[in-house]
């Protein structure tokens, strides 16, 4: 019975993975071949040798980069089931010495890779939806003025739908994507039957001959070939939503065959009719089917956007818990699957950026120039972090790890360099956007460290404070007081302010700190660490993983097992609220201090983030000069 249930659950998750994970890479046929042979940047002439060469590049790129690198290798580097570049970074930092140059470089690479992923999260919905809606032009040119407005309406609808959650989105989209990939395969087969010679492109020599025979043009063509693997990083980032097996089964059993058949079908069409280069995907279909195909493509492009959106939510949650971004509202959209979340702030930020991008670039061809840099940059960084994981966690020798990753590094580097020539034509956008996100991530982390140093400099050692209280002179009142602090060994500033204002302390005083570990989840048995101190003081350390949902009241209930009973109805929570004052000549640049102060002011409430009842919270303010 259990085996049957497991199989049903695997089938359900595989279906949902089709809808959420493979939307991005699944809509690449809308624009990839078109950009290679008919794009605005270095189009490849349509000859039998070139078509076979490009198809061979597509085939082996999907096999090597997606199947071998991501599905077979990178997905092994999961942090207890969680994927994505932040999870990979935390794995790479294991067994390293904190503060060393090597650790700092790994952090910088991981954060910049995450920042580039956000850039991908902005470009993917824009190019996918635009390329789908542009098919309306083939029905009648009268649709051309409406393509931009229609695209914007579709995108707004997608982001409004996000609050429903990954579970409902995946269940609905999975069924659509089953149809989508079936249509891709059917259209491809019909064209291949008319020109089966394109199947010769499976031979890797055609790719080699194309690159060597067209040295400069072959290099530039790689900048468009990479469009066939956009979304590979998203399938790794979304692993925590569905698990590795559903993603692997969906790719090997359904997605990859359908994509390859469609690409080969487009190649066969171009050999038969070079004029189809204006939009080879839609030209695969008979005229009567173009309108329904546009409708299906638009829905599929909406689904394509889902992969990077849910990936962005997952990475942001990890970054919050690891201290790289301010607290943001996180809504859990499923009672059964822990990893399914919705972040309203990130959702609307992405939408605003996408609308600006669509209006600025105006067409999918213009956006294609911006697309590859973010994808290939993240892929390169993933290789380097994977090498660190192989050496530190898997016990590989440095030589074996580097040699194992070298083929992937060479391929990704070739794609990255080919896309770098398109920086003036739009490739600058993901770099600028990624750099801005990177500055925000690092500024928040460094600002929090600086704030902690300033608070620690004026703080008292807790044991000394308790000893002075024991000498008398401070009145104790009934009830329990919980003081939140980042350092449990020091007296919280809120406690000192409370004592200064009220001239009294509660009968039971708890100094509570939250510690986040670089694992996804911490079991309840390890959730709290309780240390009983003199004078009816207690020290509690609440421990979470970077994917756990913080809940302080729930954690405090677990203290009863350690002999510390806490009556929530008789408990007050004291939080410090600092007003930050930037200072010239500090350890952090003044402009970064201003950014940190703005982020600090707009950070989410600790009360809501830790699920503390607001009617039991007392906030005590203080000024801190950075």
Q: Which of 446, 469, 486 is the last residue of a domain?
A: 446
- One domain for residues 436 and 473: no
Based on its alpha-carbon atoms, the radius of gyration of the chain, rounded to whole angstroms, reads 27
pLDDT at site 333:
65
Same domain? 464 vs 441: no
Interatomic CA distance for residues 83 and 215, integer angstroms: 37
Query: Is residue 240 over pLDDT 80?
Result: no
pLDDT for 435 beyond 70: yes
* Cβ-proximal residues to 306 (8 Å cutoff; 6+ apart), any chain: 19, 20, 23, 158, 166, 169, 170, 173
Residue 193 has a pLDDT of: 94
For residue 453, tell me if it sits in a domain.
no
Tell me, what DSSP letter sits at residue 82?
Answer: B
Query: Quick check: 173 pLDDT over 80?
Result: no
- Find out whether 549 and 330 touch, Cβ atoms under 8 Å: yes
* Residue 341 near residue 331 (C-beta atoms within 8 A): yes
CA dist 43 and 371 (Å) reads 16
Enumerate residues 6+ apart whose C-beta is below 8 A from 349.
Answer: none
Residue 271 has a CB neighbour count (10 Å cut-off) of 19
What are the respective helix, strand and coil percentages of the chain, to the nearest 5?
70, 10, 20
In a domain, 454, yes or no: no
Q: Are residues 158 and 183 in the same domain?
A: yes
Q: Token pair of 168, please? A: 């409902």
For residue 348, is pLDDT > 70?
A: yes
pLDDT given for residue 58 in this prediction: 96
Q: What's the pLDDT score for residue 564? A: 86
- Please tell me which of 92-101, 327-336, 411-420, 602-611 the model is most confident about, judged by mean pLDDT: 411-420
Does one domain contain both 561 and 475? yes
Lowest mean pLDDT among 69-78, 184-193, 360-369, 596-605: 360-369
Let me know if 409 is exposed, middle or buried by CB neighbors in 10 A (0-12, 13-18, 19+).
middle
Mean pLDDT of the chain: 85
Is the pLDDT assigned to residue 341 strictly greater than 90? no
Within 8 A by CB and 6+ apart from 287, the residues are none
> For 457-491, what is each residue's pLDDT tens digit?
777 888 888 888 877 778 888 899 999 988 888 88
Q: Is the pLDDT of residue 166 over 60?
A: no
- By CB neighbour count within 10 A (0-12 exposed, 13-18 middle, 19+ buried), where does 336 fall? exposed
Among the candidates 382, 415, 446, a domain finishes at: 446
**Alpha helices, H only, 393-487:** 398-420, 428-457, 462-470
SS3 for 236-260, per residue? HHCHHHHCHHHHHHHHHHHHHHHHH
Report the distance separating Cα 467 and Cα 471, nearest Å: 7
Domain end point (choices 414, 446, 478): 446
Nearest CA-CA partner of 118 in 354, 365, 298, 363: 354
Helix ranges (H only) for 134-214 are 136-139, 147-161, 166-194, 204-213
Residues 67/252, Cβ–Cβ less than 8 Å: yes
Give the strand pairing for 528-532 and 537-545: antiparallel
- For 242-269, b/e burial (b = at least 16 CB within 10 A) is bbbebbbbbbeebbbebbbbbbbbbbbb
Query: Would you state the pLDDT for residue 18?
Result: 78
In a domain, 167, yes or no: yes
- The answer on 295 and 151 residing in a single domain is yes
Residues in the chain: 626
Percent of the chain with pLDDT over 90: 27
Q: Are residues 438 and 469 in the same domain?
A: no
Q: What would the mean pLDDT of 84-110 be, rounded to a whole number?
A: 83
Q: Do 442 and 501 sit in the same domain of this protein?
A: no
Does the pLDDT at position 293 exceed 60?
yes
Q: Does residue 318 contact residue 89 with C-beta atoms inside 8 Å?
A: no
Residues 114 and 140 in one domain: yes
User: How confident is the model at residue 408, as a pLDDT?
Assistant: 92
Most confident among 161-170, 304-313, 515-524 (mean pLDDT): 515-524
Which domain covers residue 59, as residue numbers? 2-446
275 and 363 in one domain?
yes
- Cβ-based neighbours of 60, under 8 Å, separated by 6 or more: 204, 207
Q: What is the CATH number of the domain that holds 109?
A: 1.20.1740.10
488 to each of 248, 341, 383, how far by Cα in Å? 44, 31, 38
Q: Which residues contact 527 (CB under 8 A, 6 or more apart)?
A: 542, 543, 544, 555, 558
| 50 touches 281 (CB < 8 A) | no
Q: Return the biggest CA–CA distance within the chain.
A: 95
**Domain membership flag for residue 451:** no
Whether residue 474 sits in one domain with residue 395: no
DSSP H stretches of helix in 322-363: 344-361
pLDDT for 374 equals 81
In a domain, 314, yes or no: yes
By three-state DSSP, how is residue 529 classified? strand
Of 243, 263, 224, 215, nearest in space to 63 by CA: 263
Retrieve residue 88's tokens. 């990979």
Residue 239 near residue 307 (C-beta atoms within 8 A): no
The pLDDT tens digits of the residues spanning 357-415 come to: 888 887 777 787 777 788 888 889 999 999 999 998 888 999 999 999 999 999 999 99
Q: Is 374 inside a domain boundary?
A: yes
CA atoms of 612 and 610, how far apart (whole Å): 6
Is the same domain home to 407 and 509?
no
pLDDT at 180: 93
Structural domain total, the chain: 2
Nearest Cα to 304, choosing from 460, 123, 142? Answer: 123
Is 398 within the bounds of a domain?
yes
For the segment 488-502, the average pLDDT, to the nearest whole number, is: 85
Same domain, 433 and 492: no
591 inside domain: yes
């Amino acid at each position: 019975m259990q085996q049957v249930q497991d199989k049903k659950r695997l089938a359900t998750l595989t279906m949902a993975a089709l809808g959420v994970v493979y939307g991005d890479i699944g809509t690449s046929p809308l624009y990839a071949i078109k950009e290679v042979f008919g794009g605005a940047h270095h189009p490849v002439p349509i000859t039998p040798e070139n078509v076979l060469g490009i198809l061979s590049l597509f085939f082996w790129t999907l096999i090597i980069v997606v199947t071998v690198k991501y599905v077979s290798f990178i997905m092994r580097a999961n942090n207890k089931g969680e994927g994505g570049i932040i999870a990979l970074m935390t794995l790479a930092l294991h067994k390293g010495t904190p503060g060393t140059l090597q650790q700092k470089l790994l952090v910088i690479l991981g954060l910049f890779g995450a920042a580039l992923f956000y850039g991908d999260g902005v470009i993917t919905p824009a190019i996918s939806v635009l390329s789908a809606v542009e098919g309306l032009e083939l029905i009648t040119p009268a649709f051309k003025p409406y393509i931009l407005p229609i695209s914007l309406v579709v995108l707004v609808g997608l982001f409004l739908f996000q609050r429903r959650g990954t579970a409902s989105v995946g269940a609905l989209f999975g069924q659509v994507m089953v149809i989508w990939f079936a249509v891709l395969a059917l259209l491809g087969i019909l064209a291949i039957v008319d020109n089966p010679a394109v199947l010769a492109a499976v031979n890797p020599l055609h790719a080699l001959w194309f690159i060597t025979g067209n040295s400069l043009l072959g290099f530039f063509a790689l900048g468009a070939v990479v469009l066939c693997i956009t979304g590979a990083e998203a399938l790794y980032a979304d692993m925590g939503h569905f698990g590795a097996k559903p993603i692997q089964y969906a790719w090997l059993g359904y997605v990859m065959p359908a994509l390859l058949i469609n690409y080969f079908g487009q190649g066969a069409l171009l050999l038969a009719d070079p004029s189809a280069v204006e939009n080879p995907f839609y030209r695969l279909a008979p005229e009567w089917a173009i309108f329904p195909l546009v409708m299906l493509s638009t829905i599929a492009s909406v689904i394509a956007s889902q992969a990077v959106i849910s990936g962005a939510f997952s990475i942001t949650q990890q970054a919050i818990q690891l201290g790289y971004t301010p607290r943001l509202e996180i809504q859990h959209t499923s009672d059964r699957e822990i990893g399914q979340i919705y972040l309203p702030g990130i959702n609307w930020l992405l939408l605003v950026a996408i609308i600006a991008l669509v209006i600025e670039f105006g067409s999918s061809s213009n956006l294609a120039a911006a697309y590859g840099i973010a994808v290939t940059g993240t892929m390169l960084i993933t290789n380097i972090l994977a090498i660190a994981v192989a050496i530190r966690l898997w016990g590989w020798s440095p030589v074996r790890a580097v040699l194992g990753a070298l083929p992937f590094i060479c391929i990704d580097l070739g794609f990255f360099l080919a896309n770098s020539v398109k920086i003036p034509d739009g490739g600058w956008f993901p770099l600028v956007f990624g750099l801005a996100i990177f500055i925000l991530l690092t500024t928040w982390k460094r600002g929090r460290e600086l704030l902690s140093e300033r608070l620690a400099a004026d703080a008292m050692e807790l044991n000394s404070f308790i000893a002075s209280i024991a000498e008398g002179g401070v009145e104790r009142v009934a009830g329990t007081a919980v003081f939140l602090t980042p350092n449990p060994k020091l007296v919280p500033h809120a406690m000192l302010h409370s004592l200064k204002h009220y001239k009294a302390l509660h009968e039971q005083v708890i100094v509570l700190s939250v510690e986040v570990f670089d694992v996804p989840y911490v079991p309840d048995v390890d959730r709290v660490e309780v240390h009983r101190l003199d004078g009816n003081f207690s020290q509690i350390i609440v421990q979470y993983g970077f994917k756990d949902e913080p809940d302080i009241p729930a954690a405090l209930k677990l203290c009863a097992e350690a002999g510390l009973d806490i009556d929530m109805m008789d408990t007050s929570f004291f939080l410090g609220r600092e007003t930050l004052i930037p200072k010239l000549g500090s350890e952090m640049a003044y402009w970064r201090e201003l950014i940190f102060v703005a982020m600090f002011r707009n950070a989410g409430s600790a009360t809501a983030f830790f699920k503390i009842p607001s009617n039991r919270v007392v906030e005590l303010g203080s000024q801190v000069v950075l």
